[in-house]
Amino acid sequence: MRQQKPESFGAHVERADLPPGLPSIAYNGAQRVLARNWTGSSTVPSRALYPHQWSWDSAFIAIGLRHVSPDRAQRELETLLTAQWQDGRIPHIVFNPAVPLTAYFPSPDFWRSSTAGDKAGAPATVETSGIVQPPVHALAAWLVHRADPAASTRRGFLRRVYPRLVAWQRYLTGRRDLGGRGLASIVHPWESGMDNSPCWDQPLARIEPADVRTFHRADLDHGCRADRPTDLDYGRYVRLAASYRDRGYADDAGSHPFAVEDPALNALLIASEHALAEIAAVIDADPADHLVRAEELTTNLLKRLWNPDAGMFLCQDVITGEHITERGVSGLIPLILPDLPDEVVAALVRTATGEHFGLGGPSRLAPSYDLTGRAFDPSRYWRGPAWFNINWLLERGLRLHGATEQADALRAEALSAANATGFAEYVDPFTCEARGSQDFSWTAALTIDLLMEPHVEPLATQAQGASHA
Ligand code: 2M8
């Protein structure tokens, strides 16, 4: 069991590559953030800006929380899963009814899940959004189990969550295979989690924006306008979400005006399929189907989205059938996968450390978008700044593929930036100056994970070759 008491923490994880004392200070600070943002059944990403439960945030939060309290980490995931729709989708937001409607937009009265989502099987007792986020959940469930396998088994955690996680993955591999090419598509930029990435500019340009006078942007009450998406982009986000809602959140072929195959979402889908194979083996279910699917998805990802000239994976616009030439950091995330050809791994490491992403050079943390790109901006939401969840995934991927020096350097930068910025939502990739909100939950959670597992078995090894409880 890897779980450890906080008081014994410092002695165990002090490491030469971090300033003396930093691990204990960072651990205690991170733990305080997670305690403050805990609502009693889940964790808000940020008290001010994001006062509800977010889907992939909760998965990343559970990955860190497992070191502090495996029970709370299980609860985090199970609370999210109670809001799952009957068609298998896990909504990207689960709304807290105690929070005023004006605190976040789009609010529950915009999504109207329990009525507009009725046909798709939205729950009647809780209000949610109708779109999704990347599937980090099975991976998180597996890692949470491994933090304390005995307690997890006693509580029947994996047995309870497994069928729901399978339904979630099948929603993505089934209804969301909009291109019919064996990959999942996103139907809204928010589904990527990288909301305002320049990768969406081209497909988004086709969408008629909603009139900005018809809604109030609560994000501008908290965030700096210059760092947030423009009104024009927001108008398009709103139009896309409203038209999905008005179609009953149906995923009928040809009905989506925006459909993109995103490398990060598909890589996380594959990593989660590996995790489901591990979970299946523990609960005496059959892992074979998951392993076959992981292999097929990996083949499709390589065939459809790998671009040797770019040295990375590129998004594909399913409606035009064309690659999107923008280099978003999403295209490096498949590094978390074990079964990649050597030349693909080598190219991804070269791209991460080369002129486009600058790791080990001008960038202290990997930017969300190409440093040389036409739309690069070190401050604007997902158009350049560095995020901690993304850098955590890259750190795991580099370590998995034996790029230990780069992984160690990235880990040290992430830990020192998280601590120095008060666990900022995101940072300037060159200076690590804080941006967005502070006391951000996944920044705190992943800080704890990096501290507690300095030389972890990387994600895919954990998902594939770990011993069973
Ligand atoms: C941001 O996204 C929300 C919409 O879902 C927003 O901008 O209002 C993104 O950074 C996303 O990845 C994240 O899950 C969410 C909550 O932290 O905030």
Can you give the pLDDT at residue 256?
Answer: 97
Inter-residue contact 219 to 105 (CB < 8 Å): yes
How far is ligand 1, taken at its centre, from the CA of residue 393, in Å? 17
Q: Is 388 in the pocket of ligand 1 (CB under 6 A)?
A: no
Residue 254 C-alpha to ligand 1 middle, in angstroms? 27
Tokens representing 79 are 């609370």
Atom of ligand 1 nearest to the CA of 129: 5
Scanning 37-132, the segments in alpha helix (DSSP H) are 55-68, 70-81, 108-111, 113-116
Q: What pLDDT does 463 receive?
A: 44
**Residue 195 beta carbon below 6 angstroms from any ligand 1 atom:** yes
For residue 10, report the distance from its CA to the centre of ligand 1, in Å: 32
Supply the DSSP symbol for 456.
P
pLDDT for residue 363:
98
Catalytic residue among 326, 370, 425, 428: 425
Q: Is the CB of 57 under 6 A from ligand 1?
A: yes
Task: Determine the 3-state secondary structure of 427 from DSSP.
Answer: strand
pLDDT number for residue 207: 98
> Under a CB-based contact definition with an 8 Å cutoff, are residues 128 and 111 in contact?
yes
Ligand 1 pocket: which of 190, 236, 265 to mutate (most atoms <8 Å of CB)?
190
Which regions of 191-271 does DSSP assign to beta strands (E)?
260-261
Q: Which atom of ligand 1 is nearest to the CA of 426?
A: 10
Helix (H) or strand (E) holding 131: none
Question: Pocket of ligand 1, candidates 195, 224, 368: which has the most ligand atoms within 8 Å of its Cβ, to mutate?
Answer: 195
Structure tokens belonging to residue 374: 């036409």
Give the dihedral sign, CA 330/332/335/341.
Answer: positive
Task: Give me the domains of the chain, ranges plus CATH numbers.
Answer: 29-452 (1.50.10.10)
Is ligand 1 within 6 A of the CB of residue 56?
Answer: yes
Asked whether 277 and 265 are in contact (CB, 8 A), the reply is: no
pLDDT band at 221 (very low <50, low <70, confident <90, very high): confident
Count CA atoms closer than 13 A to 363's CA, side-chain side: 29
Cβ(454)–Cβ(15) below 8 Å:
yes
- Residues 77 and 319: their CA atoms lie apart, in Å, by 34
CB distance 227 to 424 below 8 Å: no
Using the predicted structure, report yes or no on whether residue 4 has a pLDDT greater than 50. Answer: no
Amino acid symbol at 205: A
Nearest Cα residue to atom 4 of ligand 1: 190
Query: Which one, of 68, 19, 37, 21, lies nearest residue 452 by Cα?
Result: 68
Specify whether the backbone of 20 is left (phi greater than 0), alpha (psi in -120 to 50) or beta: beta
Q: What are the angstrom distances between the C-alpha of 219 and each of 216, 223, 369?
A: 9, 6, 22
**Terminal-residue alpha carbon distance, the chain:** 10
Is pLDDT of 469 > 80? Answer: no
The finding on whether 383 has its CB within 6 A of some atom of ligand 1 is no
Cα 15 to middle of ligand 1, angstroms: 33
> For 368-412, what is each residue's pLDDT tens digit?
999 999 999 999 999 999 999 999 999 999 999 999 999 999 999
d(CA 312, CA 199): 14
Atom of ligand 1 nearest to the CA of 389: 12
Q: What is the pLDDT of residue 17?
A: 64
Residue 358, sorted as left (phi over 0), alpha (psi -120 to 50) or beta, turns out to be left
How far apart are alpha carbons 112 and 115 in whole angstroms? 6
Q: What average pLDDT does range 243-267 have in this prediction?
A: 97
Q: How far apart are the C-alpha atoms of 395 and 398, rounded to whole Å?
A: 5
Question: Residue 45 CA: which ligand 1 atom is closest?
Answer: 17
Residues 6+ apart with CB under 8 A from 305: 183, 261, 263, 266, 313, 314, 315, 316, 323, 331
For 415-426, letters b (16+ CB in 10 Å) and e give bbbbbebebbbb
Ligand 1 pocket, residue 111 CB under 6 Å: no
pLDDT band at 329 (very low <50, low <70, confident <90, very high): very high
Whole-number average pLDDT of the chain = 93
Which of 195, 261, 262, 428 is catalytic? The answer is 195
* Closest ligand 1 atom to Cα of 219: 8
413 catalytic? Reply is: no
Q: What is the DSSP string of 306-324?
A: EETTTTEE--EETTTTEE-
76 is catalytic: no
Give 20's pLDDT tier (boundaries 50, 70, 90): confident
Give the distance (Å) from ligand 1 centre to CA of residue 441.
12
- CB of 227 shorter than 6 A to ligand 1: no
Q: What share of the chain is helix, strand, coil (3-state, %, to 5)?
A: 50, 5, 40
Q: Which residue has the tokens 């933090």?
A: 147
Is 224 a residue whose pLDDT tops 90?
A: no
CA nearest 128: which of 115, 117, 113, 110?
Answer: 113
Interval 160-218: pLDDT, tens: 999 999 999 999 999 999 999 999 999 999 999 999 999 999 999 999 999 999 999 98
Residue nearest ligand 1's atom 7 by CA: 195
Q: Are 366 and 390 in contact (CB under 8 A)?
A: yes
The closest residue, in CA terms, to atom 13 on ligand 1 is 193
CA of 237 to the centre of ligand 1 (A): 12
